[in-house]
């Protein structure tokens, strides 16, 4: 073996996996089992007491899921990861380790519509209070910090407009406030942006999107950067204080730079229960093997389509950070030099009605609520994903009435342009 460090594409195929030691199976087997036999009574006791690593029950961990966890941790440059049932489950599990009732977290206002709902309504019932900031105005994060702030949450490439967040600038605010920066890296994937390289302490993903990549399996993941000191100021008792359910051990003291991933597993996943099915882990692992190839094609197609739309007479504006005159082009060059992603919006001169009409005329594009599929997708956010927001909030989050969102797939770009041409023209 050479002592070269493997590159990204090699890690996408191999990280975390090895031939099955009993059968020689080369693809990672689906360990479709709920539970695992202990060697003896001492082994069982040490697993339950967190004195040994091993498999107990699939709600807490599973060997197929473990390969997925190791692979995504390697691709993101983290110390460890925890796979869960969906992107939303990842967000709940992360914040449950950080917030007590009455605490606050700051979130960028430009987010996936489902996250806006989850933060505004569901989390409120847990006593977790979201304070919104504007990702285009870094000072708004600083102004939002209070003694009860426990975390900052942003998207690297933000839904729905594909805008790029200045991760390093927000990370500086988080450092100063003494709280971790959580980055939802779903729309970028680690192929385009590795937030940990820019100061993120925790990365979350909806694996449902580009990582799985084929629109067939839900999943989520939490990556621990291993960068945050959880012991300061008693702000994070789940990590720094003795845990009664594990004979009084302190997770940070015992597990060091992967304590956060352990907390998410042994306190979050174990007790809240959103475990990922090993079958879905297998589907997502298979998807990840081609992530670099797919992501490049997604981005190249998206750029060509954004350029086509920018020149179309029915189009008022295109919001794609990969276009040289876009407001976010400088940030895209810095953070995502391989491409600015494949999800973006454009607005139609004909407003709301033109948006609804376009969506109904497209044939190759599928009209549905998802992104990051091999297939090209379209949605009109104002009448669907963002319909619960009032008009001002719609515009602020980039989902005004005239806005259409595309998620560009890996088909031939000429066919996608022909479909847009017939739908816009007719
Ligand atoms: C889809 C999505 C989520 C939620 O993920 P699920 O797997 O649907 O629960 C969170 N963030 C972003 C950016 C997403 O696109």
| CA 50 to ligand 1 centroid distance, Å | 31
Question: Is any ligand 1 atom within 6 A of the Cβ of residue 184?
Answer: yes
| 1 — pLDDT class (breaks 50, 70, 90) | low
Q: How far apart are CA 36 and CA 190, in angstroms?
A: 33
The predicted pLDDT at position 397 comes to 73
In tens, the pLDDT along 242-295 reads 999 898 999 999 999 999 999 999 999 999 999 999 999 999 999 999 999 999
| pLDDT at 13 exceeding the cut of 60 | yes
Cβ count near 42 (within 10 Å):
11
> CA-CA distance, 108 to 132, in Å (whole number)?
6
Contact status, residue 39 vs residue 47, Cβ threshold 8 Å: no
What is the average per-residue pLDDT within 111-118? Answer: 92
What is the token pair recorded at 218? 């839900």
Whether 60 contacts 269, CB under 8 Å: yes
Token digits of residue 50: 């967190």
**pLDDT value for 426:** 56
Closest CA to 95 of 119, 68, 113, 131: 119
Which residues partner with 347 through β-bridges? Answer: 317, 403
- What local confidence, expressed as pLDDT, does residue 413 receive? 98
Nearest ligand 1 atom to the CA of 88 is 9
Mean pLDDT value of segment 390-415: 90
> What's the pTM?
0.96
Q: How far, in Å, from the CA of 346 to the mean position of ligand 1? A: 21
Give CA–CA dist 157/319, Å, rounded: 12
Residue 5 has pLDDT above 60, yes or no: yes
Mean pLDDT within 163-179: 97
Atom of ligand 1 lying closest to residue 219 CA: 7
Instruction: Give distance in angstroms: CA of 115 to centre of ligand 1.
Output: 7
Identify the bridge partners of residue 421 per DSSP, sorted by sequence position: none
Least reliable range by pLDDT among 12-26, 164-178, 185-199, 392-406 = 392-406
β-strand 181-184 against 149-155: which pairing, if any?
Answer: parallel
Query: What is the chain's length?
Result: 426
Q: What ranges do the domains of the chain cover?
A: 8-287, 293-425
Cα of 369 to ligand 1 centre, how many Å? Answer: 11
- Is the pLDDT at 34 greater than 70? The verdict is yes
Q: What is the distance of C-alpha 377 from the center of its chain?
A: 19
Check if 118 has its Cβ closer than 6 Å to any atom of ligand 1.
no
* Higher pLDDT, residue 113 or 321: 321
Residue 383 has pLDDT above 90, yes or no: no
Please tell me the predicted confidence (pLDDT) of residue 72.
98
Q: What is the mean pLDDT of residues 315-323?
A: 96
Give the number of the atom of ligand 1 that is nearest the alpha carbon of residue 89: 9
Report how far apart the first and last C-alpha atoms of the chain are (Å, whole number). Answer: 60
191 has a pLDDT exceeding 60? yes
Work out which ligand 1 atom sits closest to the CA atom of 220: 7
pLDDT above 90 coverage of the chain, percent:
88
Q: What is the pLDDT of residue 12?
A: 98
Mean pLDDT of 358-377: 95
Query: With contact defined as beta carbons under 8 Å apart, do 350 and 357 qualify?
Result: yes
Banded model confidence at residue 336, pLDDT cuts 50, 70, 90: very high
**Spacing, Cα 394 to ligand 1 middle (Å):** 18
Ligand 1: distance of its center to the CA of 18 in Å?
30
pLDDT for residue 161 is more than 90: no
What confidence score (pLDDT) does residue 234 get?
A: 87
Q: Is the pLDDT of residue 15 over 60?
A: yes
| Tokens (6 digits) for 98 | 């950080």
Q: From 84, 94, 115, 161, give the residue whose CB has the most ligand 1 atoms within 8 Å, as the site to mutate.
A: 115
Q: Rounded mean pLDDT of 12-16?
A: 98
Q: So what's the pLDDT on residue 203?
A: 99
User: Which of 342, 291, 252, 338 has its CA nearest to residue 68?
Assistant: 291
Question: 8-287 — its CATH code?
Answer: 3.40.640.10
Give me the pLDDT at residue 27, please. Answer: 97
pLDDT of residue 93: 98
Does domain 293-425 match CATH 3.90.1150.10? Answer: yes
Tell me the mean pLDDT in the region 207-231.
97
Encoded tokens for 75: 């691709």
- Write a three-state SS string for the chain: CCCCCCCHHHHHHHCCCCCCCCCCCCCCCCCCCCECCCCCHHHHHHHHCCCCCCCCECCCCCHHHHHHHHHHHHHHCCCEEEEECCHHHHHHHHHHHHCCCCCEEEEECCCCHHHHHHHHHHHHHCCCEEEEECCCCHHHHHHHCCCCEEEEEEECEECCCCEECCHHHHHHHHHHHCCCEEEECCCCHHHHCCHHHHCCCEEEEECCCCCCCCCCCCCEEEEECCCCCCCHHHCCHHHHCCEHHHCCECHHHHHHHHHHHHHHHHHHHHHHCCCCCHHHHHHHHHHHHCHHHHHHHHHHHHHHHHHHHHCCCCEEEEECCCCCCCCCHHHHHHHCCCCCCCEEEEEECCHHHHHHHHHHHCCCCEECCCCCCCCCEEECHHHCCCCCCCHHHHHHCCCCCCEEEEECCCCCHHHHHHHHHHHHHC
pLDDT at residue 337, rounded to an integer? 97
Q: What is the mean pLDDT of residues 353-359?
A: 91
* pLDDT over 90 (residue 395): no
Residues 6+ apart with CB under 8 A from 221: 68, 69, 72, 81, 82, 83, 84, 90, 204, 205, 207, 211
Helix axis angle, 351-361 relative to 413-425, nearest 10°? Answer: 130
Cα dihedral sign for 115, 119, 352, 325? negative
Residue whose entry in the numeric block shows the structure tokens 């810095």: 334
Average per-residue pLDDT for the chain: 95
């Amino acid at each position: 073996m050479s002592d070269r460090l493997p590159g990204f594409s090699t890690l996408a195929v191999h990280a975390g996996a090895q031939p099955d030691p009993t059968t020689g199976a080369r693809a990672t087997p689906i360990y479709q089992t709920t539970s695992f036999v202990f060697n003896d009574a001492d082994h069982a006791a040490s697993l339950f007491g967190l004195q040994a690593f091993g498999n107990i029950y699939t709600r807490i961990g599973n060997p197929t899921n473990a390969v997925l966890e190791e692979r995504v941790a390697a691709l993101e440059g983290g110390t460890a990861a925890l796979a869960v049932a969906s992107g939303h489950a990842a967000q709940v599990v992360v914040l449950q380790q950080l917030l007590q009732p009455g605490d606050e977290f700051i979130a960028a206002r430009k987010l996936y519509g489902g996250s806006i709902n989850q933060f505004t309504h569901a989390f409120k019932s847990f006593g977790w209070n979201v304070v919104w900031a504007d990702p285009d105005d870094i000072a708004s994060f600083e102004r939002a910090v209070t003694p009860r702030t426990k975390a900052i949450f942003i998207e690297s490439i933000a839904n729905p407009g594909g805008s790029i967040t200045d991760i390093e600038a927000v990370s500086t605010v988080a450092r100063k406030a003494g709280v971790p920066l959580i980055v939802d890296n779903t729309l970028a994937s680690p192929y385009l942006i590795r937030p940990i390289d820019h100061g993120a302490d925790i990365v979350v993903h909806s694996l449902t999107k580009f990582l799985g990549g084929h629109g067939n399996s839900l999943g989520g993941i939490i990556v621990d950067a291993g960068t945050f000191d959880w012991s300061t100021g008693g702000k994070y008792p789940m990590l720094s204080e003795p845990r009664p359910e594990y004979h009084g051990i302190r997770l940070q003291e015992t597990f060091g730079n992967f304590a956060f991933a352990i907390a998410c597993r042994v306190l979050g996943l174990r007790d809240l229960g959103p475990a990922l099915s090993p079958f879905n882990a297998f589907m997502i692992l298979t998807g990840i093997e081609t992530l670099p190839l797919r992501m490049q094609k997604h981005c190249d197609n998206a750029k060509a389509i954004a350029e086509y739309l920018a020149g179309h007479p029915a189009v008022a504006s295109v919001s794609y950070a990969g276009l040289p005159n876009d407001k976010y082009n400088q940030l895209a060059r810095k953070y995502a030099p391989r491409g600015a992603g494949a999800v973006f919006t454009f607005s139609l001169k004909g407003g709301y009605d033109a948006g609804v009409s376009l969506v109904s005329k497209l044939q190759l594009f599928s009209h549905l609520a998802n992104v990051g599929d091999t297939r090209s997708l379209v949605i009109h956010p104002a009448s669907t994903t963002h319909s619960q927001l009032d008009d001002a909030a719609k515009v602020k989050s980039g989902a005004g009435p005239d806005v259409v969102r595309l998620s560009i797939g890996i088909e031939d770009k000429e066919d996608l342009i022909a479909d847009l041409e017939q739908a816009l023209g007719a």
